[in-house]
Amino acid sequence: MKRGYVYLIGAGPGDPGLMTIKGLECLSRADVVIYDYLANPQFLEQAPQAELIYVGKRKGLHHYPQEQINRLLLEKAGAGKVVARLKGGDPYIFGRGGEEAMALAEAGIPFEIVPGVTSAVAAAAYAGIPMTHRDCTTTLGFATGHEDPAKKLSSLDWEKLSTAVGTLVFYMGIANLENICSQLIAHGRPPETPVALVRWATTPKQQTLTGTLADIVNIVRETDFKPPALIFVGDVVKYRDSLRWFDNRPLFGKRILVTRSRAQATDFCNSLQALGAEPVCCPMIEIVSPESMADLDAAIDVLPDADYLILTSANAVEAFFGRLDELGRDARAVTGLKLVTVGPKTAETLTAYGLKPDMIPADYRAEGLVEMLEGQVAGKTVIYPKAELARDVIPTQLAAAGATVIDPVAYRSVVPEDAETCLQQALAEGLDLLTFTASSTVRNLVALLDEAQLAEVAKLPIASIGPLTSRTAEEAGLPVAIEPEDYTIDAMLAAMVEYFKATNREQTEQGV
């Protein structure tokens, strides 16, 4: 029988970028993934082949007691499986990883520890708190605050702990915050010592609350600040106002629906994350091939006799050159043609094939392209690979200008199978903004909503990439709050930032 093996992997605090490369590699080898509540679920995508077993614990709800988790590790590894035990933070820092490793060692099952970024280190960094600073302290201590308040005697030696180090960090201590503060003050910490509480660290939901040992308990009550959270005690907390960088980004904490196709959503989502938002990827379209390639193939056959090739989207570029490749041809097939693209993103996609456009209209719409070309296409042949539901502006008006226009369908869009489930979940969890980059994304989303849901969605701000998409949204009863002057993703992102800046200023002036 194949010998089993266990990786005890620290998944970090929540930001998927803080998982180690080695941890991801170990996940990709796993036959079984046993994971905790605190592990970011995105990591599970690294192990599509694995059996997934959730053993997480929440306050008041324990899916598996620790002894049962240990037995599960032994059972799966004993059956010859490669097991990835995915734990939030670091396995050996208040994660009971030592107990699991001991159970494996006693059973003779080989294992490996893959360290992770512990939540205290990450939370401090993302909250703008340097846990050591030579002007304040060069000593640091971690402790667990998760103790039974009914205990008459604490397992912590408060007399030594309170003043032994400059910065103290308590894990899982919000329920015992009052006891922690009173013990620290009673054993020598000044009441005015700064305190910070950080919850949901490194995620767009991160919240940080500051005060002192004397008043932080009342502040928590007044703000209804809930666990889980870490507690930082020490003068280093005072640096937060100067060093915060994560939770003061312009879109921080905003849940933004992204309706682009999965193939095109990655860059947009990455840009949203860089601005502090939580992108909720819910594609409303999926790009697929036309039902027949005959018209596109016929257009490709006449390329040597054509004068212009018009490409109005990144999808058109990918579909056209993808079909060229399937036919055993390459970019040399467009030699001698004038290449026309609508907008910089389409042009950028074209450069991946070693080509640059000859012409780009100033107005990134079909109307702008027609205005640019109509005086020079008389007697010319124009190839225009298009979407199945594309408007007829380009072929109709260029034909009226004297051109022979060949406009085969190169691709079509369909609604993804999981679109409705994804949308309902996104709405249930709450959104701050919806984004649309094509009229089809609007129509497909609206078709998935009942009348009551549509009325609720209409209350949310809508960002549209341009006037055509905006018109479709308005006609569907969705008022558009954001539309950039330039019809590009970058311009839309900039407009979203300005919108929320103005909203925040208005709320501040109103005392909200």
Q: Which region among 111-115, 139-143, 341-345, 426-430 has the lowest average model confidence (pLDDT)?
A: 341-345
Q: Mean pLDDT over residues 460-470, rounded?
A: 95
pLDDT given for residue 505 in this prediction: 80
Statement: residue 156 has pLDDT above 60: yes
Q: Tell me whether domains 255-285+416-509 and 288-413 share a fold.
A: yes
> Which of 281, 346, 359 has the alpha carbon at shortest distance from 318?
346
pLDDT given for residue 153 in this prediction: 43
Query: Mean of the per-residue pLDDT values for the chain?
Result: 92
Which has more confidence, 113 or 42? 113
pLDDT given for residue 320 in this prediction: 96
Q: Say how far residue 268 (Cα) sits from the centre of its chain.
A: 10
Where are the extended beta strands (E) located within 244-374? 255-258, 278-281, 286-288, 308-311, 338-341
Tokens 């027949």 belong to residue:
292
Tokens 């056209």 belong to residue:
320
**Residue 381 near residue 305 (C-beta atoms within 8 A):** yes
Q: Which region among 148-157, 204-213, 410-419, 503-512 has the lowest average model confidence (pLDDT)?
A: 148-157
Task: Name the token pair of 178.
Answer: 């009052």
Task: Name the token pair of 245.
Answer: 């960088």
Most confident stretch, 214-218, 328-332, 342-346: 214-218
pLDDT in tens, 237-288: 999 999 999 999 999 999 999 999 988 899 999 999 999 999 999 999 999 9
Alpha-carbon distance values, 84 to 17, 72, 451, 460 (Å) = 19, 12, 45, 41
pLDDT in tens, 87-104: 999 999 998 999 999 999
pLDDT given for residue 344 in this prediction: 87
379: left (phi over 0), alpha (psi -120 to 50) or beta: left
Q: Mean pLDDT over residues 102-130, rounded?
A: 97
Tell me the CATH architecture of domain 5-117.
3-Layer(aba) Sandwich (3.40)
* Phi, psi (degrees; rounded to nearest 5) at 414: -130, 165
Q: Mean pLDDT over residues 356-375, rounded?
A: 92
pLDDT given for residue 2 in this prediction: 73
Whole-number CA gyration radius for the chain: 29
> Which of 172, 167, 93 has the alpha carbon at shortest distance from 130?
167
Statement: residue 423 has pLDDT above 70: yes
Statement: residue 152 has pLDDT above 50: no
Q: Mean pLDDT over residues 4-21, rounded?
A: 94
Statement: residue 150 has pLDDT above 60: no
Query: Of the residues 15, 19, 31, 36, which is catalytic?
Result: 36
Q: Which residues contact 435 (CB under 8 A, 6 or more apart)?
A: 256, 257, 258, 259, 268, 462, 463, 464, 492, 496
pLDDT given for residue 62 in this prediction: 56
Cα 269 from Cα 489, distance rounded (Å): 11
pLDDT given for residue 242 in this prediction: 96
Could you confirm whether domain 288-413 is CATH 3.40.50.10090? Answer: yes
Tell me the CATH architecture of domain 255-285+416-509.
3-Layer(aba) Sandwich (3.40)
Cα 459 from Cα 22, distance rounded (Å): 45
The CATH number corresponding to 121-243 among 3.30.1360.120, 2.30.30.90, 3.50.50.60, 3.30.950.10 equals 3.30.950.10
Q: What percent of the chain has pLDDT over 70?
A: 95
pLDDT given for residue 506 in this prediction: 76
pLDDT given for residue 445 in this prediction: 97
* E strand or H helix at 108: none
Q: Is 36 a catalytic residue?
A: yes
pLDDT given for residue 273 in this prediction: 93
> Which of 420, 500, 412, 511 has the alpha carbon at shortest distance from 461?
500
The residues spanned by each domain of the chain are 5-117, 121-243, 255-285+416-509, 288-413
Query: Of the residues 57, 235, 238, 486, which is catalytic?
Result: 57
Q: Is 386 a catalytic residue?
A: no
Query: Of the residues 19, 172, 284, 496, which is catalytic?
Result: 172
